[in-house]
Every structure is written in structure tokens, then in C-alpha cells.
């Protein structure tokens, strides 16, 4: 295997941008120390937070199924909102905590200071208590990217309620499933969202969700007035957010939380069934989010930090809200999209606010790269000193463009690998490394022990490719699947006993650096969003005309992976264009626009084994081939097919397009 050359940063002449970064030898030393003495290492790191009672028990972990436990900072007590807001008041109360950049580029940006944020979190915290929300209750948040989304999360944390943020792109059925699963008592939403000038009917979606069965745990819906659109208010269930916070005290007693008390649930797709409620707890999660945010992004007090994710995903939780705010940073909250009003939007926002650290997804980079260099080059971007990516593997070409064109070759690029389940970044280069490998997530963060295993679960040493596992815990690790601990153990710890299985494939090069190759399970990664093939299939077969469906991923230039659906109709149904459109719309309505297939092929039959198992491997090959001819043998072993003619038909139809 030949190694692609590394890329070195070219600091602007006379700049001290690199000063103060952890050097490679310092970070190597810290890594060694973190493995030698995990207790000592993490005890010290936990000291970065304000604890009501500092922990004396640091870690209590066993991945052994007969004696399973993951507990960090067990006897510590703290409140996450106090750490994200109150403790900054004395030293930086007037510092901007949030810069709100609205969807409309012509609209005024809004600065929220730590003092403002404190008052807003306290008022909402008091309002939640007044509405009967108590420690341990679940609150669903379905909001656009506006400061109130951050306020809502922190207000839940303040009163000990467990928030479940649902991405604003999800449809009523997905909201209802998530509300039902955790029996939410209250929902915080807005009249409408705005994205790229288009309105998203958030309140109407909540109304539709609450008409679906299984949602009557919800007592109250708080509605933020955002666009001012007229919405149905169903009294007494629905209350205007402004009206309930008005008149509340700007002080709110924080709920003392045990380190292992839940902080939030975030639903994510798996290879089977409905999305899982990934549960994160307070002490370990916050320690890990805050520490990784400081080290991986080389955070300084005067930084203007911008992560373009949505708070509906874990990236938004850890690296827009909890990490940056625990660190007293200035975090940009961006409501818009990269191509509105034009494709210079990101770079204009960077110039407008003097953004120094910029963190985005490969899919956005690829889409903007396609527009050429001019929309970037007509902006300054002089303020930038660090770039990051997350969500999916970044192809070296996109990496180089990001580094050379966006960063002018001056800024390190941290390609950060992690998952909803991991709470924070686990594998990434560090900014002080000096040399970077485009497309390589590189090396484990402090305390993290990655390894590769073969299909039998045997550890593979040296330069090799295999399945990525983690041999030990880190503080940000998820603790359970909400309401289904058995599913947690089955999904992550049963495949390879004694190890956490990530679901990703990975290659380790001769330097020991890690290259993530993508999911090895039935999860597809579309524009950095995780979608379970089973979820899309179940949405398709819920349509009355569909008999059977099989969904696979296929390579997509911009999205990384696209969704390819094979659909078998019930006898007598006509496979026409109108039905195709109807099915795509049906998936949008059942799950949300992000799950709509990019390609839908009619399948008179699906390739199955004699025992009736769908052979997805073959379907993937056909989808990947595009219009290309498939030579016999390219489909791999087809000897177990019950009916080979089924495959011939699919290949022929695929070529016809």
C-alpha cells in the first residue's frame, strides 16, 4: 500500500497562529499518560468542571456481559447548565455566548451574552417547573436553529429534565415515535422554521404527530413565535413560549444531578428496527465534550467558533452547545443553509463574524467545491485559523480543496471521527501535529483505545483493514438505549465480546493511523445523516400498494451515499411514474425528506436465499454499477440464490435506467 503524501500547514508569515498548540510530542506524552493511569488522568480532566461535589470514584467499567457496567465520576454531583452558563458570569458575563446568524442574510445577527443566556435559561427553567416538569421527566425539543433551542436544552438540564431533541426535518410519524418511546411530557417547538427562505411547518407537524396514537403523555406544547405565521393553538395544551417565560424570575435553583443522572436522549438509526434512544449522562459527557472541544479545536478565549451542524444531531449537542458553552466560548448558531442566498454564504458569515474555527461536514464541502473557487476567493476568511470536518469519510480531493482554497493552506484540518454513541470525538488529528494526511481520521484521542478485528473477532495487529472496535470506555460513552438496556448490550457488545463495536470499517496504515472506510452494517450515511435501511423499508411497505422493499446505499458524488430502493408491488398494481412519485412522497411523510430514496427501482422479485433472506450484497452491487454492464462474477457468489432469474431481471432493468 503506498501512502499518500502528508500535507503541512503554511503559517502566514509573522503569525503566531501555531503558538500554544500542543506539540506532537506533548500530545503523545498525554496519550501515553491517559492509558497508563486513566484514573489520575480523568480525575484531573474532570477538574475543569464546577462540581457541587467533586468525584472521588473516577471510573468503574466492565464490558464483560456477565458483569457489565459503565460508570464515570460516580459519586460526583453537578449541574450541566451551571457549568455552561453560571460559572462564566463572574469572569465573562458580557462575553458573547451565542451569535445568532438568521436564515435571511439581510437580517441583523443577534449576540446573546452569557448574562442574557443565564436569564433566559433561568426563566424557562422556572416556567418548566411551573408546568410540572421535574427531575427525570422527558422533554422533546423540535425547534429551528435559533438561540431558544440552546436555551431550551440548558433549561431542561437546569431542572434535571432529560431533553430529546428531534431534528426539524423529521416528519410527524418520526416525532410521534420519539415522543412515544420516551413518553415526553412536554414539547418545545416554534410556529415555523426557516431554511433557505423556505418555511417549515413545525407546529403543524407537532399537531399532526400528537394526533397519532401513543402520544398522549404530552401535556403541554410550548410554541416559540419565530416567523409570526398563524398556527392553531389548542388550549389548554398549547402555550406561547413568550407568555410562559414572561414574569418568571431570572434566577432558577439548579437541580443537583449525580454524574450518572441522564442529561439527554438522542435518537439515532441502527441497522434494525426503529431508531434507538441513545442516552448520555451528565458528568462524563460534559467532561468529555468540553475537554475534546478545547483540545481538538485548540480553543482560545478570543475565538469565534462555528459548527454548522443542527442541534438536532449529536454534533450540535456536543460542539455547538455543551462543549463550547462549558468552555466559555463564543458559538455561532446558524439557521440557514450553505447555498442561500448564494454559495458564498458560509464564507460571508465567516467574514461577518470573524470566525476563527470552522467545523462542517464533507457533504457541504463537496457541494461547495463543485461551485468552483471564485465564490470562496471573493471573501477574505483571514480570521480562520482552524478547520474541522465530521460525519463521514472525507475524500482526499475535498480535503485538499478545503485546506487549500478555504483555508489558504494556513489552517490545520481536523477530520474528527465519532458517533452519536460516543458523545464526543474519539479519533482525530490534533492541530499541533504539523503534518496531515488528507482523508485520514488519524489517531485516538487521549484515553481512547481503538483496535481492528476480523469477522471472527480476532484482533488484527499492524497495517491492516478490519472492523473498528474500542477496547475500553471513555467518559463520553453512551450508557444505555433508553428503555431497552438489552438492545444496548446486543447492538454494541455482543458481536465482539469484551469490546464496543462501532459498526464502522477501518484501515490502519503503517504509521498506525486510522482511515475510516464507512459503515459495515445496514446503516447508510447520507450527507452525514444516519439512516437505517430497515426504517426506509418499513416506510415503503407501509404503503398499501407495496408488497416488499429492500433498501441499500450507493456511492453519491455529493451526499457520500445515496439511498437506493428496490420495490416489489402487490399483484395487479401498475409500476408507473405517478406511483414512484407517490412512494417517494410517502417516505418523506413517514420519516422526513432526508430519508427519501434517490433512486427507486421496480423489482418484480428480490434476490433471496433459499431460506428467504434478502441478499443485500447483490442489491448493493447492482445499485453501485449504475448504468455500467455487470460482468458475470462481479456480483460475487450467487450460488445460494433461490431464483437466479430475479437477479438477471434487476440487472437488465438497472441498465435500462
Cite the annotated binding site by residue number.
195-198, 315, 391-393, 415-420, 504, 519, 527, 530, 541, 543, 546, 588
Residue position matching grid coordinates 413517514: 590
The rounded distance, in Å, linking the Cα atoms of 287 and 203 is 35
Which one among 148, 238, 504, 521 touches ligand WT7, defined by CB under 6 A? 504
**Burial class of residue 117 in the structure, from the number of CB atoms within 10 Å of its CB (0-12 exposed, 13-18 middle, 19+ buried):** buried
Where is the binding site for ATP, in residues? 391-393, 415-420, 504, 519, 530
The rounded distance, in Å, linking the Cα atoms of 107 and 226 is 14
For 132-163, the three-class secondary structure string (H helix, E strand, C coil) is: CCCCCCEEEEECCCCHHHHHHHHHHHHHCCEE
Residue 530 Cβ, how far from ligand WT7 at the closest point, in Å?
Answer: 4
Q: Which is nearer to ligand WT7, 96 or 442 (CB)?
A: 442
Phi, psi of 596 (to 5 degrees): -70, 130
Contact 184, 221 (CB under 8 A): no
DSSP string, 410-449: TS-EEEEB--GGGSS--B---GGG-EE-TT--BSBPTT--
Residue 36 Cβ, how far from ligand WT7 at the closest point, in Å?
Answer: 27
Where is the binding site for Mg(2+), in residues? 541, 543, 546
Best CA proximity match to 170, nearest among 539, 514, 436: 539
Residue 362 Cβ, how far from ligand WT7 at the closest point, in Å?
Answer: 8
Residue 153 Cβ, how far from ligand WT7 at the closest point, in Å?
Answer: 17
Residue 395 Cβ, how far from ligand WT7 at the closest point, in Å?
Answer: 11
Binding mask 268-287 for ligand WT7 (x = CB under 6 A): x-------------------
Q: Which is nearer to ligand WT7, 63 or 500 (CB)?
A: 500
Site for ligand WT7 in 424-483 (CB under 6 A): 441
DSSP string, 365-383: HHHHHTT-SHHHHTS--TT
Cα four-point dihedral sign 320, 322, 324, 328: positive
Q: Applying CB under 6 A, does 530 fall inside the site for ligand WT7? A: yes
Residue 114 Cβ, how far from ligand WT7 at the closest point, in Å?
Answer: 26
**Residue least distant from ligand WT7 (Cβ):** 420
Residue 337 Cβ, how far from ligand WT7 at the closest point, in Å?
Answer: 18
Which one among 262, 275, 338, 503 touches ligand WT7, defined by CB under 6 A? 503
The rounded distance, in Å, linking the Cα atoms of 205 and 232 is 11
The rounded distance, in Å, linking the Cα atoms of 466 and 516 is 10
Q: Applying CB under 6 A, does 521 fall inside the site for ligand WT7? A: no
Q: Which is nearer to ligand WT7, 388 or 597 (CB)?
A: 388
Residue 519 Cβ, how far from ligand WT7 at the closest point, in Å?
Answer: 5
- Consecutive H or E run containing 507: strand 500-508
Residue 261 Cβ, how far from ligand WT7 at the closest point, in Å?
Answer: 23
Contact 371, 344 (CB under 8 A): no
Write out the three cell numbers for 159: 431542572
Assign 582 to helix, strand or coil.
helix
Q: Which is nearer to ligand WT7, 41 or 319 (CB)?
A: 319
Site for ligand WT7 in 354-393 (CB under 6 A): 390-393
Q: Which is nearer to ligand WT7, 383 or 419 (CB)?
A: 419
Q: Which is nearer to ligand WT7, 70 or 615 (CB)?
A: 70
Best CA proximity match to 646, nearest among 606, 618, 613, 601: 606
Residue 303 Cβ, how far from ligand WT7 at the closest point, in Å?
Answer: 21
Distance of CA 488 to CAs 133, 276, 485, Å? 27, 9, 5
Residue 399 Cβ, how far from ligand WT7 at the closest point, in Å?
Answer: 11
Q: Which is nearer to ligand WT7, 172 or 553 (CB)?
A: 553
Contact 274, 366 (CB under 8 A): no
Which one among 73, 114, 241, 417 touches ligand WT7, defined by CB under 6 A? 417
Residue 269 Cβ, how far from ligand WT7 at the closest point, in Å?
Answer: 8
Write out the three cell numbers for 318: 456536543
Which one among 519, 543, 586, 621 touches ligand WT7, defined by CB under 6 A? 519
Q: Which is nearer to ligand WT7, 120 or 280 (CB)?
A: 280
Q: Which is nearer to ligand WT7, 85 or 278 (CB)?
A: 278
Q: Which is nearer to ligand WT7, 184 or 308 (CB)?
A: 308
Number of residues that bind ligand WT7 (CB under 6 A): 23
Binding mask 309-348 for ligand WT7 (x = CB under 6 A): -----xx---------------------------------
Which DSSP category does 307 fall into? E
User: Residue 8 forms beta bridges with which residues?
Assistant: 435
Which one among 418, 446, 488, 496 touches ligand WT7, defined by CB under 6 A? 418
Write out the three cell numbers for 13: 508569515
Contact 501, 469 (CB under 8 A): yes
Looking at 225-233, 368-376, 400-408, 409-417, which segment touches ligand WT7 (CB under 6 A)? 409-417
- Strands (DSSP E) found in 191-292: 193-195, 198-200, 220-224, 238-240, 257-258, 262-268, 276-281
Looking at 20-28, 328-336, 341-349, 417-425, which segment touches ligand WT7 (CB under 6 A)? 417-425
Q: Which is nearer to ligand WT7, 504 or 590 (CB)?
A: 504
- Consecutive H or E run containing 26: helix 24-36
The full length of the chain comes to: 657
Site for ligand WT7 in 171-210 (CB under 6 A): none
Which one among 79, 287, 331, 525 touches ligand WT7, defined by CB under 6 A? 525
Looking at 344-352, 396-404, 524-532, 545-553, which segment touches ligand WT7 (CB under 6 A)? 524-532
Write out the three cell numbers for 24: 506532537
The rounded distance, in Å, linking the Cα atoms of 47 and 53 is 11
Q: Applying CB under 6 A, does 594 fall inside the site for ligand WT7? A: no
Q: Which is nearer to ligand WT7, 303 or 415 (CB)?
A: 415
Q: Which is nearer to ligand WT7, 63 or 418 (CB)?
A: 418
The shares of helix, strand and coil residues in the chain, as percent rounded to the nearest 5, are 35, 25, 40
Residue 302 Cβ, how far from ligand WT7 at the closest point, in Å?
Answer: 27
Binding site for ligand WT7 (CB under 6 A): 268, 314-315, 390-393, 415-420, 441, 502-504, 516, 518-519, 525, 528, 530
Amino acid at each position: 500500500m503506498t501512502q499518500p503524501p502528508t500535507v503541512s500547514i503554511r503559517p502566514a508569515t509573522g503569525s503566531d497562529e501555531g503558538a500554544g498548540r500542543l506539540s506532537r510530542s506533548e500530545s503523545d506524552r498525554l496519550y501515553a499518560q491517559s492509558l497508563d493511569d486513566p484514573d489520575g488522568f480523568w480525575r484531573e480532566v474532570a477538574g475543569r468542571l464546577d462540581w457541587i461535589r467533586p468525584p472521588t470514584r473516577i471510573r468503574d467499567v466492565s464490558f464483560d456481559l456477565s458483569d457489565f457496567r459503565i460508570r464515570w465520576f460516580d459519586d460526583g454531583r453537578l449541574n450541566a447548565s451551571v457549568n455552561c452558563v453560571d460559572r462564566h458570569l463572574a469572569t465573562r458575563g458580557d462575553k458573547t455566548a451565542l451569535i445568532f446568524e438568521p436564515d435571511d442574510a439581510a437580517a441583523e445577527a443577534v449576540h446573546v451574552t452569557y448574562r442574557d443566556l443565564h436569564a433566559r435559561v433561568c426563566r424557562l427553567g422556572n416556567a418548566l417547573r411551573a408546568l410540572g416538569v421535574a427531575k427525570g421527566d422527558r422533554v422533546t425539543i423540535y425547534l429551528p436553529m435559533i438561540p431558544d433551542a440552546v436555551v431550551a436544552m440548558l433549561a431542561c438540564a437546569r431542572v434535571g429534565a432529560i431533553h430529546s431533541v428531534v431534528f426539524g426535518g423529521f416528519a410527524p410519524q418520526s416525532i410521534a415515535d420519539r415522543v412515544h418511546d420516551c413518553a415526553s411530557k412536554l414539547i418545545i417547538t416554534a410556529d415555523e422554521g426557516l431554511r433557505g427562505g423556505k418555511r417549515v411547518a413545525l407546529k403543524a407537524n407537532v399537531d399532526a404527530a400528537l394526533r397519532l396514537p401513543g402520544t398522549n403523555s404530552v401535556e403541554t406544547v410550548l410554541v416559540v413565535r419565530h416567523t409570526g405565521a398563524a398556527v392553531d393553538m389548542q388550549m389548554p395544551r398549547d402555550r406561547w413560549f413568550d407568555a410562559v417565560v414572561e414574569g418568571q424570575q431570572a434566577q432558577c435553583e439548579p437541580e443537583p444531578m449525580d454524574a450518572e443522572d441522564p442529561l439527554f436522549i438522542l435518537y439515532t438509526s441502527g441497522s434494525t428496527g426503529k431508531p434507538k434512544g441513545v442516552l448520555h449522562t451528565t458528568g462524563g459527557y460534559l467532561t468529555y465534550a468540553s475537554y475534546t472541544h478545547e483540545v481538538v479545536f485548540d480553543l482560545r478565549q478570543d475565538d469565534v467558533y462555528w459548527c454548522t451542524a443542527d442541534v438536532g444531531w449529536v454534533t450540535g449537542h456536543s460542539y455547538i452547545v455543551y462543549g463550547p458553552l462549558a468552555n466559555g466560548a463564543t458559538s455561532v448558531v446558524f439557521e440557514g443553509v450553505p447555498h442561500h442566498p448564494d454559495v458564498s454564504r458560509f464564507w460571508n458569515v465567516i467574514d461577518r463574524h470573524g470566525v476563527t474555527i470552522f467545523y462542517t461536514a464533507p457533504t457541504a464541502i463537496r457541494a461547495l467545491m463543485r461551485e468552483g473557487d471564485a465564490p470562496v476567493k471573493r471573501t477574505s476568511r483571514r480570521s480562520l485559523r482552524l478547520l474541522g470536518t465530521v460525519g463521514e469519510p472525507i475524500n482526499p480531493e475535498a480535503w485538499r480543496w478545503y485546506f487549500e482554497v478555504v483555508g489558504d493552506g494556513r489552517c490545520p484540518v481536523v477530520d474528527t471521527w465519532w458517533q452519536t454513541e460516543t458523545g464526543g470525538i474519539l479519533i482525530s488529528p490534533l492541530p499541533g501535529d504539523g503534518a496531515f494526511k488528507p482523508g485520514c481520521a488519524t489517531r485516538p484521542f487521549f484515553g481512547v483505545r481503538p483496535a481492528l478485528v476480523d469477522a471472527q473477532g480476532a484482533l488484527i495487529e499492524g497495517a491492516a483493514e478490519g472492523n473498528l472496535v474500542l477496547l475500553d470506555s471513555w467518559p463520553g460513552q453512551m450508557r444505555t438505549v433508553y428503555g431497552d438496556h438489552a438492545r444496548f448490550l446486543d447492538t454494541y457488545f455482543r458481536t465482539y465480546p469484551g469490546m464496543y463495536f462501532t459498526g464502522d470499517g477501518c484501515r490502519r496504515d503503517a504509521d498506525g493511523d486510522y482511515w475510516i472506510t464507512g459503515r459495515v452494517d445496514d446503516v447508510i450515511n447520507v450527507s452525514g445523516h444516519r439512516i437505517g435501511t430497515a426504517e426506509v423499508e418499513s416506510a415503503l411497505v407501509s404503503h398499501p400498494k407495496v408488497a416488499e422493499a429492500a433498501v441499500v446505499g450507493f456511492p453519491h458524488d455529493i451526499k457520500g451515499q445515496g439511498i437506493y430502493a428496490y420495490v416489489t408491488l402487490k399483484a395487479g398494481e401498475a409500476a408507473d411514474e405517478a406511483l414512484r412519485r407517490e412512494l417517494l412522497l410517502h417516505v418523506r411523510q413517514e420519516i422526513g425528506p432526508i430519508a427519501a430514496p434517490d433512486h427507486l427501482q421496480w423489482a418484480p422479485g428480490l434476490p433471496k436465499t433459499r431460506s428467504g433472506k434478502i441478499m443485500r450484497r447483490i442489491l448493493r452491487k447492482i445499485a453501485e454499477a449504475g448504468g455500467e454492464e455487470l460482468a458475470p462474477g462481479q456480483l460475487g457468489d450467487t450460488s445460494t440464490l433461490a431464483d437466479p432469474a430475479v437477479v438477471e431481471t434487476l440487472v437488465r432493468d438497472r441498465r435500462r435506467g
